[in-house]
Each structure stands twice: as C-alpha cells, then as structure tokens.
C-alpha cells in the first residue's frame, strides 16, 4: 500500500477578504494541492479572511503594527507567530504591510507573493490605475519569491490580461483577480511538488534557472 504524500505546511498572511487564500484552499480541498493551511495571520482584526478561516477551523492570529514602535519590532513578533506553526511555505495573499528585511530573510526561499501587475512594471500600490493612466494595452499578475526589495524578488509565473476599451480600475481588477486565482495555486503546487525552488538569488523550476517568468497563457476576455 502506497503511503500518503505528506501535506506541505502553509501559513498565509492577509489584510483583507483573502480571495487568493480561498482559491488555494479550494484546490487543496479538491485534492489538487498537497498542502495544509496551518494558520492565517493578519495585521487587521476586521479582515474578512479571518472569519472565513475560523469557520473552517483554521488557527488565526491578529498582530497590529500599531502596538509596536517600528517595523523591525513588528517583523520580529510577526516572524515568531509564523514560525510557531513550522511552515514549509509562507504565502502573502493581499498582506498590505511592507515586511522588515529581518522577517523576509528569516523565511527566505520559502515565501511567495502574488502581485497585480506584470512585474517589474508597477511595483507597489494602485497598479490598475497606473496601468490605465499609462495607456498600457495589457496588464496582469505575477507570482514571485519575496526578497527585501519591495515586489522585486524573482518572478516565477505571470498571466497577461488585455486592457479593453472602457475599462476602469474595477473592471480591470476583476479580470486580473481571476488570473491570480489560477497562477497562485499553480505556483504553490510546483513548490509542494519540489519542482520550484529559490537558489542563488533566482527562481528555479524543474532544475532550470528561470531567466524570465513562465507565462501562464490563461488570459480571459470580457464576458468569460
């Protein structure tokens, strides 16, 4: 009899409703991802993702940066909470705090982020607005390893989304989000399977260094 594959222990950091968290959990529930979400941690007590996680019996924690004198102190406390769950992978899923270098290095090589742009374009906030104001013809989402440089870690996988006539921030954001729900679970699956790694400052997939991101090829058009 074949022994069951151990589930990868995952901790997810959120600030809002946690739609990417839910997308990953749905794939795990369907048996498509060999992961177990050990805990959900937020910087906001009112984050919708916390109520969802509690309803599923997932451990939750709230750590407000207002209770700490600086980013370094907050990062150390946050790191201790995350480490207490012995995660093999840490996922940022709409966590809206800039992490301290100490925190990032503590989990180096086992922390991923989903960002709503085609990095290196539009690191930081308001990516949809900036793409529209620039007159771009395409936009998208990127999954990358987290390094101390904000949204600057090596990109693993991207999905392009066409910018359509009449798009506003909301319509564009909705189509990008649908692609986030595709590419983030895919990268988590690669990591869980041992196919994806961070080494020598770069992302490696199937033993090959990624000099450019993999493109998903999963673009959707209006109405799909």
Tell me how far apart the alpha carbons of residues 25 and 52 are, in angstroms, rounded to a whole number: 11
Catalytic residue among 115, 128, 144, 181: 115
How many C-beta atoms lie closer than 10 Å to residue 124's C-beta?
11
Q: Tokens representing 58?
A: 């997932």
**Is 57 exposed, middle or buried (CB count within 10 Å of its CB: 0-12, 13-18, 19+)?**
exposed
Q: Is 115 a catalytic residue?
A: yes
Measured on CA atoms in the order 105, 194, 210, 18, is the torsion positive or negative? Answer: negative
CB 93 within 8 A of CB 17: no
How many C-beta atoms lie closer than 10 Å to residue 67's C-beta?
9
**Is 162 exposed, middle or buried (CB count within 10 Å of its CB: 0-12, 13-18, 19+)?**
middle
Q: Which residues are catalytic?
A: 115
């Amino acid at each position: 009899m074949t022994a069951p594959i151990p589930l990868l222990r995952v901790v997810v950091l959120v600030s809002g409703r946690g739609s990417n968290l839910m997308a990953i959990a749905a794939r795990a529930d369907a048996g498509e991802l060999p992961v177990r979400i050990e805990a959900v941690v937020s910087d906001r007590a009112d984050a919708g993702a916390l109520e969802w996680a509690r309803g599923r019996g997932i451990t939750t924690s709230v750590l407000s940066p207002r209770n700490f004198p600086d980013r370094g102190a907050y990062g150390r406390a946050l790191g201790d909470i995350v480490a207490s769950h012995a995660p093999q992978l840490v996922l940022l899923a709409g966590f809206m705090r800039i992490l301290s270098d100490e925190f990032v290095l503590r989990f180096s090589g086992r922390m991923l982020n989903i960002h709503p742009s085609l990095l290196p374009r539009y690191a930081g906030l308001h990516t949809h607005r900036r793409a529209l104001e620039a007159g771009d013809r395409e936009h998208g989402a990127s999954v990358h390893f987290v390094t101390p440089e904000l949204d600057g870690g090596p990109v693993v996988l991207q999905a392009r989304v066409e910018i359509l006539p009449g798009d506003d921030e909301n319509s564009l954001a909705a189509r990008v989000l649908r692609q986030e729900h595709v590419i983030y679970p895919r990268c988590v699956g690669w990591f869980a399977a041992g196919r994806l790694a961070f080494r020598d400052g770069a992302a490696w997939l199937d033993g090959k260094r990624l000099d450019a991101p993999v493109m998903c090829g999963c673009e959707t058009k209006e109405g799909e």
